[in-house]
Amino acid sequence: MQERHSHSNERIIRDLLRPVTQTSMMNWVGFIVLGALVTAFLFVIAWMFYWGIGVSGLSRPNMWGFMIVNFVFWIGISHAGVMISAILRLTQAEWRRPVTRAAEVMTMFSLVTAMIFPFIHTGRPWRTLYWVFPYDFWRGIWPDVRSALVMDPSAVFTYLTGTILFVYVTTIPDFALLRDRSTGWRHGLYRVLALGFKGEERQWKIQIISGFLLAAIMLSIFVSVHSIVSWDFAFSLDPVWHSTVWAPYFVIGAVHSGVSAVVTLMAIMRWMFKFDDYIRHEHFDAIGRLLVVVGTTWMWFFLLDIFFDLWRQDPADDAIMHIRFFEWPYPLLLAFVWIFGYFIPVPIWAFRRFRRNIKLMFWASIMVNIGMWAERYWLVIPGLQAKYQWTFDWTAYRPGPVEITLVVGSFAFVGFLLLLFAKLIPPVPVWDELEGKHLAAEIQVGKRTVPAIVREF
Partner 1 sequence: MTPRWGMVIDLDRCTGCQACVVACQAENNVPINTEAIYLQHRAIQWIRVERYWEGEFPNIKARYIPVPCMHCSEAPCEPVCPVYATYHTPEGINMQVYNRCIGTRYCSVNCHWHVRFFNFWEPKWPESLHNQLNPDVSVRSRGVMEKCTFCIQRINHAEQNARLDNNRPLRDGEVNTACAQACPTRAIVFGDLNDPESEVAKIANTTDRGYKVLAELGTNPSVLYLKKIDPDAPAEHGAESA
Partner 2 sequence: MRKGAMRRRDFLKLVATSTTGAVLFTGCGIGDGDPETEFKIESPALNPVDLVYGRDNWYATACQECPAGCGLIVRVFEGRAKKVEGNPDFPVNLGATCARAQAAVQELYHPDRIAQPLRLSGARGSGDYQATSWDDALAAFATELGGARGATLIITPPLAGPLGQVVASFAEAFDAQQVAFEPEERVVLREAVRRVFGTDTLPTIDLARAEFLLNFSADFLHSWISPVQFSRAYGEFRHGRADLRGTYWHVGPQMNGSAASADRWFPINPGTEGLVALAMAQVMVAEGLVDQAAAARAYPGITLADYTPERVAETAGISAEQITELARRFAQGTPSVAIAGTTAAAHTNGLFNVAAVLALNYLVGSVGQPGGIILNPSAPFGADVPGPAAGLAYRDWAGVINDLNSGRYRLVIVHGANPVYGLPAASGLREALGQAGKIVALSSFLDDTTLQADLILPVHTSLESWGLQAPDPGPGYQAVTLQQPVVNPFVDSRAFADVLIQAASAAGGALPWESYEAVIRAAVEELRGLRRGNVEAPDAEQYFMAVQAQGGWWDSDATADEAPTAPATPTPVAEPEYAGDPGQFPLFLLPYPSNALGYGETAHLPWLQALPDPMTTAVWTTWVELNPATADRLGVETGDVVRLVTPRGSEEMPVYVNPAAHPDVAAVPMGQGHTDFGRYAKGRGVNPLNLVEPATEAETGALAWAGTRVRVEATGRKVRFPRFEGQVPAFQLEEAPIVQVIPGTH
User: Shortest gap between Cβ of 213 and partner 1 (angstroms)?
Assistant: 31
Partner whose binding site includes residue 452, from partner 1, ligand MGD, partner 2, none (CB under 5 to 8 Å by kind): none
Partner whose binding site includes residue 315, from partner 1, ligand MGD, partner 2, none (CB under 5 to 8 Å by kind): partner 2
Establish if 237 lies at the interface with partner 1 (CB under 8 A): yes
User: Shortest gap between Cβ of 141 and ligand MGD (angstroms)?
Assistant: 5
Partner whose binding site includes residue 213, from ligand MGD, partner 2, partner 1, none (CB under 5 to 8 Å by kind): none
Which residue, among 5, 134, 116, has the nearest Cα to 67 in the 3D structure?
116
Partner whose binding site includes residue 124, from partner 1, ligand MGD, partner 2, none (CB under 5 to 8 Å by kind): partner 1
Residues in contact with partner 2 by CB under 8 A are 139-142, 144, 315-316, 319, 388-396
Near partner 1 in 50-109, by CB under 8 A: 51-54, 58-64
Near partner 1 in 336-395, by CB under 8 A: 384, 387-393, 395
SS (H, E, C) the chain: CCCCCCCCHHHHHHHHHHHHHCCCHHHHHHHHHHHHHHHHHHHHHHHHHHHCHHHCCCCCCCCCCHHHHHHHHHHHHHHHHHHHHHHHHHCCCHHHHHHHHHHHHHHHHHHHHHHHHHHHHCCCHHHCHHHHCCCCHHHCCCCCCCCHHHHHHHHHHHHHHHHHHHHHHHHHHHHHHHHHHCCHHHHHHHHHHHCCCCCCHHHHHHHHHHHHHHHHHHHHHHHHHHHHHHHHHHCCCCCCCCCCCHHHHHHHHHHHHHHHHHHHHHHHHHHHHCCCCCCCHHHHHHHHHHHHHHHHHHHHHHHHHHHHHHHCCCHHHHHHHHHHHHCCCHHHHHHHHHHHHHHCHHHHHCCHHHHCCHHHHHHHHHHHHHHHHHHHHHHHCHHHHCCCCCCCCCCCCCCCHHHHHHHHHHHHHHHHHHHHHHCCCCCCCHHHHHHHHHHHCEEEECCEEEECCCCCC
Which position among 29, 32, 141, 213 is part of the footprint of partner 1 (CB under 8 A)? Answer: 141
Residue 141 vs 450, nearer CB to ligand MGD: 141
Residue 119 vs 394, nearer CB to partner 2: 394
Residue 154 vs 297, nearer CB to partner 2: 154
Residue 95 vs 235, nearer CB to partner 1: 235
**Residues 176-215, mask of contacts with partner 1 (x by CB under 8 A):** ----------------------------------------
Partner whose binding site includes residue 148, from partner 1, partner 2, ligand MGD, none (CB under 5 to 8 Å by kind): partner 1
Partner whose binding site includes residue 237, from partner 1, partner 2, ligand MGD, none (CB under 5 to 8 Å by kind): partner 1
Which position among 25, 91, 139, 146 is part of the footprint of partner 1 (CB under 8 A)? Answer: 146
User: Shortest gap between Cβ of 138 and ligand MGD (angstroms)?
Assistant: 10
Residue 136 vs 442, nearer CB to partner 1: 136
Residues at the site binding partner 1, with contacts judged by CB under 8 A: 51-54, 58-64, 118, 121-125, 127-128, 130-132, 141-144, 146-150, 232, 235-238, 384, 387-393, 395
